[in-house]
Amino acid sequence: MLKNETIDFLKNVPPFNLLPEEELEGIVEDVSLEYFPKGVNILTQGGAPSEFLYIIKRGGVRVYMTSETDEEINIDYRSEGEHFGLLSLVSGDLSRYNIMAFEDTISFLIPKEKLLAVLQRNQSVNEYFLKSFFISFIDKTREETQRKYSGLTGGDRALFTTPVGEGVRKKPITALESLGIRDAARRMAEHKISSLVIVNPTGVPVGIVTDRDLREKVVAKGLDLSHPVRMIMSSPLIKVDAEEYCFEALLKMMRYNIHHILVVESGRFKGILTNHDFMVLQGSSPMVLVKELENIQSLEDVRGTMPKIHKTVSTLLREGAKAHNVTGIITELTEKLLNRVIDLAERKSGSPPVNYSLFLFDEGGRRELTLNRAIRMGVVYEDTGSTQLIREAEAYFGDLKKVIDRTVASCGDPGGPDCLAAVNIMSFSDWKGKFDQWAATPGRRRIEVSYADMRPVRGDSETVENLRRSLLENMASRRTMMDVVILQTIENSPPLGFFRRFVVEKSGEHRSELNLYEKGIRPLVDAVRVFALQRGVENYSTWRRVVELKARYSFAHTEDIDHALEYLLTLLIHHQIEQIEKGLVPDNFINPEHLANLEKKTLKETFHLIATLYDLLEKSLSTEVVAK
């Protein structure tokens, strides 16, 4: 009867799923079901406290505050299976927020006394309610996901949990920049160290000298040993803060292809971390793979490295790497591979007819690549007056594109993504012209906002950076252009149906599956990008953008965004690894029905957050546009 149906409903709703059947039966005796038409205020900020815990059966509510200036501040959206009214029910004084039905909503009501009695008897449920809702959930789900996919029980997570400062073992050996090369080498030999930090007279590190410098710059070139070390030291120094995790240091070492990294603590030199230290910490290091990638001798061998990249990623996940660490590694490895592939292509078909820079944009630009090989890149080549050269260049890049498609981008899979589309191969002036036109006549053409993530990976990086800067400046300074960007972004916003059920594919190969990237990650990333562009935040990666938005602009929701993105990407990469292990081609499609309840709920939670962000986006449009 209705009673059983109610019990069945509660059984699937955390934390009531933790309760024994008898408790549920007891609750249901006094449960009631109420209907709130869209737009009705259920609880009012400052008004009477809630006498019930409301659990949404259908529909959804908006939780918001009204500021002293009568501004409405969105706090949250809650939908099916979620609850509201708890805070004031427990405190008993007044309602903290306004709760409004944003669609027709049917809710179960558990009377206060009943709930409090249940909480008293059931510690687990009590704890659940006590914890901060969103965050505890994400963490729990992440742990569960991890357990589910990798069978992980304990394991060594040193790389991700050890701050760099702890990894530094020895007191650093330094030398003054005026010290002679011979003396510096002697000091290194004495202390059996492979690097020496060079400091200025006030003790501030200014450079580093390593074994490699001695070999390449001194011995190989026959340099006079009495010269000061200043002449052969590498600078500027690549530094990492002692508080950062070892993983960050490793990532930087991979990025700059260095084997030693300087650790600073509150601006002062603390020590050196070497690749060797990572081997000790980890047993193996992704640096080994980097070396391997750089030593590939033929395009045919590229394919063989893919499984190794997958294995590295899989290992990282098992060790508890956070998603942004993993995407960072994937991006670094992909870049290394990409560069090597181009080296090999050049070796085969000669150097390019014009100088050019290669850049990644979108996922790759943001250092957020996953394993689906959706790598988007572009070429900016040197301006030339010669049509002959232009023709040669076009042919050259056409061939290059084929090579990349066959190797890095899709490993030769038919129908793989177009990683280097023809429209993304242009001369500097053409690029500049394209960007300037967007600024001059906004709204006429679609603005490819993801160019805002363009990041140089080969060739002269300044060219690409200049282009990007002009684009960013135009967007930040021209209201109308920004409005177009916002409107375009909103068009891609998740449909309201997300509150009720996941919007899955209606037909085709991925029927009833959810495109996690397009429907979840992209809207989130796009929203953050706009918030960053509006404020002139220039960072590439979404995480860095979020950090900066929080630090410099006290932007709300940053913690939630961080968690949501972390969750979505973790889910996606786990899914891809699982596909790879089954011998399938990794993609972005997950079947929401295969997710555990908690995962589903967290997924919905993240979609709410996205909806909140899009609300904010819409509000940031200038009034002229809104009027239209």
**Which of 23/104 has CB closer to another protein?**
104
Residue 542 in tokens: 């979404």
Q: Is 423 in the site for another protein (CB under 8 A)?
A: no
Q: Is 6 in the site for another protein (CB under 8 A)?
A: yes
Q: Residue 506 CB, nearest distance to another protein (Å)? A: 22
**Which of 100/457 has CB closer to another protein?**
100
Determine the interface stretch with another protein among 36-44, 219-227, 281-289, 569-577 (rule: CB under 8 A): 36-44
Distance CA 563, CA 144 (A): 15
Residues 12, 17, 20, 37: which binds another protein (CB under 8 A)? 37
Measured in whole angstroms, the distance separating CA 250 from the mean position of its chain's CA atoms is 17
What phi and psi, each to the nearest 5 degrees, are found at residue 101?
-70, 120
- CB contact set of 606 (below 8 Å; sequence gap of 6+): 520, 524, 564, 567, 568
**Which of 98/275 has CB closer to another protein?**
98
CA-closest candidate to residue 87, choices 38, 120, 49 = 49
Determine the interface stretch with another protein among 34-42, 79-87, 180-188, 356-364 (rule: CB under 8 A): 34-42
**Which of 28/482 has CB closer to another protein?**
28
**Which of 53/330 has CB closer to another protein?**
53
Q: Residue 29 CB, nearest distance to another protein (Å)? A: 4
Distance CA 495, CA 487 (A): 15
Give the HSE-up count for residue 599: Cα atoms under 13 Å, Cβ half-sphere.
24
Contact code string over 60-99 relative to another protein, x by CB under 8 A: ----------------------------------------
**Which of 30/343 has CB closer to another protein?**
30
What phi and psi, each to the nearest 5 degrees, are found at residue 46?
80, -10
Q: Is 34 in the site for another protein (CB under 8 A)?
A: yes
Give the HSE-up count for residue 40: Cα atoms under 13 Å, Cβ half-sphere.
13
Other CB atoms within 10 Å distance of the CB of residue 492: 14
Q: Name the residue with tokens 């260095």.
A: 258
CA-closest candidate to residue 603, choices 80, 89, 85, 40 = 80
| DSSP single-letter state for residue 180 | B
Q: Residue 615 CB, nearest distance to another protein (Å)? A: 22
Q: Residue 44 CB, nearest distance to another protein (Å)? A: 16
Determine the interface stretch with another protein among 33-41, 64-72, 136-144, 583-591 (rule: CB under 8 A): 33-41
Tell me which amino acid residue 566 is. Answer: E
Q: Residue 75 CB, nearest distance to another protein (Å)? A: 24
Residues 23, 72, 104, 244: which binds another protein (CB under 8 A)? 104
Residues 16, 36, 278, 589: which binds another protein (CB under 8 A)? 36
**Which of 72/104 has CB closer to another protein?**
104
Distance CA 608, CA 615 (A): 11
Q: Which of residues 226-245 bind another protein (CB under 8 A)?
A: none
Distance CA 541, CA 560 (A): 16
Residues 5, 51, 294, 413: which binds another protein (CB under 8 A)? 5
- 3 state SS for 35-51: EECCCCEEECCCCCCCC
C-alpha to C-alpha distances, 342 to 348, 385, 428, 460, nearest whole angstrom: 10, 26, 21, 15
Q: Is 501 in the site for another protein (CB under 8 A)?
A: no
Strands 239-241 and 260-265: parallel
| DSSP single-letter state for residue 453 | G
Q: Is 2 in the site for another protein (CB under 8 A)?
A: yes
**Which of 33/626 has CB closer to another protein?**
33
Strands of 362-410 (E only): list them.
376-381
Burial class (CB in 10 A: 0-12, 13-18, 19+), 447: buried
Q: Which of residues 13-32 bind another protein (CB under 8 A)?
A: 28-32
Q: Is 35 in the site for another protein (CB under 8 A)?
A: yes
**Which of 28/377 has CB closer to another protein?**
28
Q: Residue 111 CB, nearest distance to another protein (Å)? A: 11
| DSSP single-letter state for residue 231 | G
Contact code string over 107-136 relative to another protein, x by CB under 8 A: --x---------------------------
**Which of 109/290 has CB closer to another protein?**
109
Q: Is 256 in the site for another protein (CB under 8 A)?
A: no
Distance CA 397, CA 389 (A): 12
Distance CA 266, CA 490 (A): 42
Residues 33, 279, 280, 395: which binds another protein (CB under 8 A)? 33
Other CB atoms within 10 Å distance of the CB of residue 546: 24
Distance CA 141, CA 135 (A): 10
Distance CA 148, CA 603 (A): 16
**Which of 57/544 has CB closer to another protein?**
57
Q: Residue 82 CB, nearest distance to another protein (Å)? A: 19
C-alpha to C-alpha distances, 539 to 202, 349, 458, 549, nearest whole angstrom: 32, 36, 19, 10
Cβ pair 62, 91 in contact under 8 A: no
**Which of 8/156 has CB closer to another protein?**
8
Q: Residue 593 CB, nearest distance to another protein (Å)? A: 20
Q: Residue 54 CB, nearest distance to another protein (Å)? A: 11
Binding residue count for another protein, defined by CB under 8 A: 19
**Which of 54/555 has CB closer to another protein?**
54
**Which of 101/472 has CB closer to another protein?**
101
Q: Residue 57 CB, nearest distance to another protein (Å)? A: 10
Q: Note the residues at the interface with another protein (CB under 8 A).
A: 1-3, 5-6, 28-38, 40, 104, 109
